[in-house]
Amino acid sequence: MLGRLRGMLIKEFIQVFRDKRSRFLLFGPPVIQMLVFGYAATLEIRHIPTAVLDFDNSQVSRDLLSRFTASPYFDVRARLNDRRQIGELIDRGDVTVALQIHAGFAQDLRKGRTARLQVIVDSSVSNTALIAVGYVNQIAGRFSQDYQRERLFSTSPLVQSQLPSIVLDRRPWFNTDFDSQWFFVPGVIGNLILVMVVSLTAFAVVREREIGTLEQIMVTPIGRLEFILGKTVPFFLIGLLDTTLISLVGTLWFGVPLRGSIGVLAIGAILFILCMLGIGLFISTISMTQQQAMVSGFFFNMPAITFSGFATPISSMPEFMQWLTYLNPLRYFLDVLRGVYLKGVGLDVLWPQMTAMGVLGLVMLTISVARFHKSLD
C-alpha cells in the first residue's frame, strides 16, 4: 500500500510542478494578493472629497473651515458661492460632503446662541457617509470646546481655571494605533487559504474525471483510500506552504506583530486546511466538469467569507444568519489568527475554536470520502 501511495504522490507532485507556470500559479498569486489586499482592505476613510459654502465669511467661520482643510480626512476641492452648486457636484460624484455655514454664524456664537453648521452628505455609499458625518462631528465638537474655552478665558480667566473638566484617557489593547491593517491582514490570510485549498482540491479530482483518466487510475491496483490520500496530501502540504509564505508577508512586510505561539498558529492552520480539503473533495463529487467545480466553489467561497466576520461584525447580522456562522470554519480560523497575531493567546483560550474546526473537518472529510466512494461506484 505504501508503495502505491508513494507512486500516487509522486505522480501528483510531478503533475503540479511540471512547468514554471504551474509553480508560479501555486505560490505567486497568494503572495501578490496578500500585498494588494493588505493595502486595499482598510476601515479608514481619508481624503473625502468636500465642498464648502461660507455665507458668514467671518474670522470664526474661516477658523472652523481651516480645521477641515488641515484634516487628513477631508479634501476640500471646491469653495462655492451658490447653494445650487452643491447638488450639481454631488450628482456628478465630484464631492461626497458639502459644508454650509449660514450668515450670522460668528454673531450667534458671540451671543451665546447655538450656531448651526449644515452638512450635506452623499449617502449612496452609506458606510462612507456615516464615517464622514462622524469625522465632522468630531471636528465641530472640538472647535466648539476650544471656542467656549477661549471665550471664557477672555471674559473670566479665574473662573475658567477653576472649572472642572473630564478628560478621556484611552487605553487601547492589542492595537494601540488603531491600525486597520493589523485587523485585515490576518483575515486576508484566512480568505486566501480558503480559496486556494478548495479550488486546488476540487479542480484536481474533476480534471481527472473530465479528461477520462479517473477510470484508468481506478482499474489499477490503487485503492480508493490511496487515491483520495494521493489527491489530498499534496494540496495539504501546498496549503501549509502557502500559509507560511503569506504569513511571513503579513508579519515582515506589513509589520503585523506575531505575539503568540507559532505552534498554536500551525495547529489552527492544519485544522482549517483539513476542513477546506473536505469541502473541496465534496465539490469534486458533485461536479462533472471544471466549470461546474468553479461555480460550486464560488457558491461556497463568497458566503463563507461574508459570514466569517472578516469585514462585517457577526453581531450585526440577523439572528438566524448568526447561527449559520457556526457552520463556517473560516469564522473560527479568523479568531485563531487574530488571537495569535494580536492578542498572543494560546490553546487555553482558543481551544473552543480548535475543537470546532476539528469537528467540522472530521465531518466534512467523512461525508466527502463516503460521497466520493459512491460517485466512483
Q: Per-domain residue ranges for the chain? A: 2-41+180-376, 48-162
Of residues 188, 367, 357, 185, the one with CA closest to residue 273 = 357
CATH value of 48-162 in 1.20.1070.10, 3.40.1710.10, 3.30.70.2740, 3.30.450.20? 3.40.1710.10
Per-residue model confidence as pLDDT tens digits over 250-268? 899 998 999 999 999 999 9
Is pLDDT at 24 greater than 90 in this prediction?
A: no
Q: Which of 79-88, 158-167, 307-316, 365-374 has the lowest mean pLDDT?
A: 158-167
Give the whole-number percent of the chain exceeding pLDDT 70.
86
Amino acid at site 123: S
Which residues are bridge partners to 194 per DSSP?
none
The band of 374, judged by pLDDT with boundaries at 50, 70 and 90, is very low
CA angle 282, 285, 289 (to 5 degrees): 120
Task: Kindly report the pTM of this predicted structure.
Answer: 0.82
Contact 118, 102 (CB under 8 A): yes
Predicted local distance difference test score (pLDDT) of residue 156: 65
Which residues, 6 or more positions from 255, have their beta carbon under 8 angstroms from its beta carbon?
A: none
User: In whole angstroms, what is the distance from residue 145 CA to residue 150 CA?
Assistant: 9
Which residues, 6 or more positions from 293, have their beta carbon under 8 angstroms from its beta carbon?
A: 202, 203, 206, 283, 284, 287
- How many Cβ atoms are within 10 Å of 72's Cβ, its own excluded? 10
Question: Pairing between strand 48-54 and 97-101?
Answer: parallel
Q: What is the CA radius of gyration of the chain?
A: 29
Question: Within its chain, how far is the Cα of 132 from the centroid?
Answer: 21
Average pLDDT over residues 360-367: 90
